Amino acid sequence: MTQVAISWYILGDFNIRLDFSKAPEYENGDSVYRVFEQLREDNRTSSWHMVPAYQTLTISYPWNQSLQEVLSAVNESVSAQNMPKMPPSRRFEIPVCYQGDLGPDLPFVAREHLMSPDEVIRLHSQPEYRIEAIGFSPGFPYLSGLPRELATARRNTPRTRVPAGSVAIGGLQSGVYPLSTPGGWHLIGRTPFILFNTANTPPIPYQFGDRLHFSPISRDEYEELLQHPYSTDFWKRT
């Protein structure tokens, strides 16, 4: 384990932002992930709110906890020499149907890049994406790893309502809309599964640092899986 140098800022009164972007060993968010996971194990953090996103970890702590205590918990997690039993980031398979009305912007994206829709599907379902942040709406993953050939500037006019399960491209990123919300990304497919389910703990199966892979399914398979929208069998964790 190498030492990670981080900078931190106070936000208002009882919040801090840890910034890992200038840390010499900073690489693709792994150090943020490790520190975040380590802190979650610490009982001093049980009433903290934590938001990991890209190179930062934002923390809100209770008013009756001292900044010193917060910083020492952070320091211990950062300098833990033997990040023990750190769960490796997990991999999830997300079945996606890219057909017809389920991917209304697929023809546009294909035209934009002078390729066939099938080529877009092939490229989009190839990489293993990494979750760099979850936010915008509950469970919306910001995914890095989109092939550069598919980078597509966001829509000029966002949709007022994007169907839940929509798989989308926005700039150099891909993402999934777990809830029906407004959205400005290009919708190229849809997963039949309901990703946000408060009956599960946690209510979203993946988290910051995990990896997602999209597997194309046919319309028939999509319709069949729709009968079991809460199924979790498809989470092939590896």
Residues that bind other proteins (CB under 8 A): 9-15, 17, 36, 47, 49-58, 60, 63-64, 67, 132-140, 142, 179, 181, 196, 198, 201-204, 207-208
- Which CB, 26 or 108, lies closer to other proteins? 26
Nearer to other proteins, 45 or 99 (CB): 45
Helices 30-40, 67-79: inter-axial angle, 10-degree rounding? 120
CA dihedral over 70, 72, 76, 78, signed as positive or negative:
positive
> Nearest distance from residue 9's CB to other proteins, in Å?
4
Q: Which C-beta is closer to other proteins: that of 14 or that of 234?
A: 14
Shortest distance, position 208 Cβ to other proteins, whole Å: 6
Alpha carbon distance 102, 31 (integer Å): 37
Whole-number Cα distances in Å, 109 to 22, 186, 194, 231:
35, 8, 25, 30
Residue 133 or 162 with smaller CB distance to other proteins: 133
- How far apart are alpha carbons 97 and 51 in whole angstroms? 31
Q: Which is nearer to other proteins, 14 or 235 (CB)?
A: 14
CB of 154 to other proteins, least distance (A): 12
Provide the minimum distance between the beta carbon of 107 and other proteins in the complex, in angstroms, as a whole number.
28
Distance CA 200, CA 215 (A): 23
Q: Which is nearer to other proteins, 108 or 235 (CB)?
A: 235
- Distance in Å, CB of 214 to other proteins, minimum: 20
CB of 136 to other proteins, least distance (A): 6
Report how far residue 188's alpha carbon sits from residue 115's, in angstroms, rounded to the nearest whole number: 14
- Parallel, antiparallel or unpaired: strands 166-170 and 173-177: antiparallel
CB atoms under 10 Å from CB of 112, counted, come to: 15
